[in-house]
């Protein structure tokens, strides 16, 4: 990739040691930032929604804008990988990673049973409570909210619920509608497999039948095929991104990560296709925003298809809105995707916090 705009993120990644801070300290009580020039590097459990939930807060200067990152999955926490992927951002932003209810270290601290409920409304309330806590803890009037994939569902709900908490919402790999997203994915994957003469994949996907599905395994089967075809059309992410930091690489931490992934996924799809995803229809329920909204979309995303996101953005009203299509990007993060997000933050979102 000879283009400078593709080389830049790799250069930033290589410079990460220059930005790394001292070992993290526990979450401090009260106001953490005594001056704008102060660095912050805290981690620990905070009482959110009646249970202890894990967060990390990292930034070179307390005066910088705060970004709350909503991970996808639902159980795919970004805490183990945040320094590798977002570490260079800490020079200009204070980044907050959150292991959501039922995921990662939060799952490990509050082991649920299969019968323990998990709902979008409950988790969006958790997110609003966390955002409120962050404004108080870091001495901010508002923060920036960004969510990817599953996290984009929470991001929309939180933006509608408490827009006054956020300078802007940035959705990446935005989920719009259970029915529309899955139907578009199903049809597109079959078309790609047919064009490639991949009759095995055509047969495998057609055997699922058109969505919506009642079998929870069907979503996973389609997702596996999506990853196969996205890999042929996108720039791969650096392998170093997906090596967890030492604190998250212990057998216990890995078991909690995997346990949270399994628990959250079943709540997401449901045993009969009746999980959290089945309730999502933002094209009907979330079309008026009271804050600026921005959507960064991979051009090769086969899970949240670009045309579905584009139609949605065209239909909504907001003080500001923008749709950014990024070539060589699928559903999951890679260097061009991270670069596009940072460019948007620097040029369009950061000025809103001044």
Long-range contacts of 159-162 (CB under 8 A, 24+ apart): 159/289, 159/291, 159/293, 160/286, 160/289, 161/124, 161/125, 161/128, 162/128, 162/131, 162/132
3-state DSSP of 296-321:
EEECCCCCCCHHHHHHHHHHCECCCE
Stretch (H or E) spanning 337: helix 335-344
Tell me the pLDDT tens digit for each residue of 235-277. 999 999 999 999 999 999 999 999 999 999 999 999 999 999 9
Interatomic CA distance for residues 161 and 143, integer angstroms: 15
Residue 147, judged by CB atoms within 10 A of its CB (0-12, 13-18, 19+), counts as buried
Interatomic CA distance for residues 63 and 65, integer angstroms: 7
Per-residue model confidence as pLDDT tens for the chain (354 residues): 333 333 333 334 333 443 445 688 999 889 999 999 999 999 999 999 999 999 999 999 999 999 999 999 999 999 999 999 999 999 999 999 999 999 999 999 999 998 999 999 999 999 999 999 999 999 999 999 999 999 999 999 999 999 999 999 999 999 999 999 999 999 999 999 999 999 999 999 999 999 999 999 999 999 999 999 999 999 999 999 999 999 999 999 999 999 999 999 999 999 999 999 999 999 999 999 999 999 999 999 999 999 999 999 999 999 999 999 999 999 999 999 999 999 999 999 999 998
Side-chain half-sphere CA neighbours of 150 within 13 A: 25
Interatomic CA distance for residues 198 and 2, integer angstroms: 32
Within 54-119, residue ranges assigned H as helices are 82-86, 104-109
The model carries a pTM of 0.92
Structure letter (DSSP) for residue 188:
H
Interatomic CA distance for residues 75 and 3, integer angstroms: 35
| CA 165 vs CA 28, 40, 144, 293: distances in Å | 22, 21, 8, 14
E runs forming strands in the chain: 25-26, 40-48, 51-59, 66-70, 94-98, 143-148, 166-172, 293-298, 321-326
Tokens of 310: 């584009």
**Residue carrying structure tokens 């296709």:** 273
Residues 6 or more apart in contact with residue 28 via CB below 8 angstroms: 42
**Residue carrying structure tokens 């601290």:** 109
Sheet of strand 166-172: strand arrangement: 25-26, 40-48, 51-59, 94-98, 66-70, 143-148, 166-172, 293-298, 321-326
Tell me the pLDDT tens digit for each residue of 221-235. 999 999 999 999 999
- Predicted local confidence at residue 341, as pLDDT: 98
Within 196-305, residue ranges assigned H as helices are 199-206, 217-231, 251-269, 282-285
């Amino acid at each position: 990739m000879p283009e400078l705009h593709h080389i830049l993120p790799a250069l930033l990644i290589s410079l990460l040691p220059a930005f790394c801070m001292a070992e993290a300290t526990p979450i401090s009580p009260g106001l953490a930032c005594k001056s704008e020039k102060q660095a912050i590097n805290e981690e620990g459990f905070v009482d959110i929604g009646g249970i202890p939930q894990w967060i990390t807060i990292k930034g070179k200067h307390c005066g910088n804008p705060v970004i709350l990152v909503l991970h996808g999955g639902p159980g795919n926490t970004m805490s183990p990988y945040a320094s590798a992927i977002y570490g260079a951002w800490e020079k200009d932003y204070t980044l907050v990673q959150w292991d959501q209810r039922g995921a990662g270290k939060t799952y490990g601290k509050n082991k649920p049973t299969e019968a323990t409920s998990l709902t979008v409304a409950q988790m969006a309330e958790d997110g609003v409570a966390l955002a409120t806590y962050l404004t108080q803890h870091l001495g901010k009037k508002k923060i920036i909210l960004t969510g990817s994939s599953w996290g984009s569902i929470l991001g929309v709900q939180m933006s509608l619920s408490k827009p006054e908490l956020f300078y802007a919402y940035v959705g990446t790999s935005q989920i719009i509608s259970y029915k529309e997203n899955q139907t578009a994915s199903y049809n597109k994957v079959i078309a790609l497999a047919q064009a490639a003469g991949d009759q095995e994949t055509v047969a495998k996907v057609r055997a699922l039948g058109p969505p919506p599905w009642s079998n929870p395994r069907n979503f996973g089967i389609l997702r596996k095929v999506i990853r196969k075809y996205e890999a042929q059309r996108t720039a791969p992410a650096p392998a170093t991104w997906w090596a967890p930091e030492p604190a998250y690489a212990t057998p216990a931490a890995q078991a909690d990560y995997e346990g949270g992934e399994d628990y959250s996924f079943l709540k997401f799809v449901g045993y009969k296709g009746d999980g959290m995803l089945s309730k999502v229809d933002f094209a009907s329920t979330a079309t008026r925003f009271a804050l600026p909204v921005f959507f960064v979309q991979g051009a090769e995303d086969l899970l949240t298809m670009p045309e579905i996101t584009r139609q949605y953005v065209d239909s909504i009203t907001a003080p500001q809105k923008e749709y950014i299509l990024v070539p060589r990007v699928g559903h999951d993060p890679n260097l061009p995707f991270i670069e596009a997000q940072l460019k948007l933050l620097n040029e369009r979102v950061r000025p809103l916090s001044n």
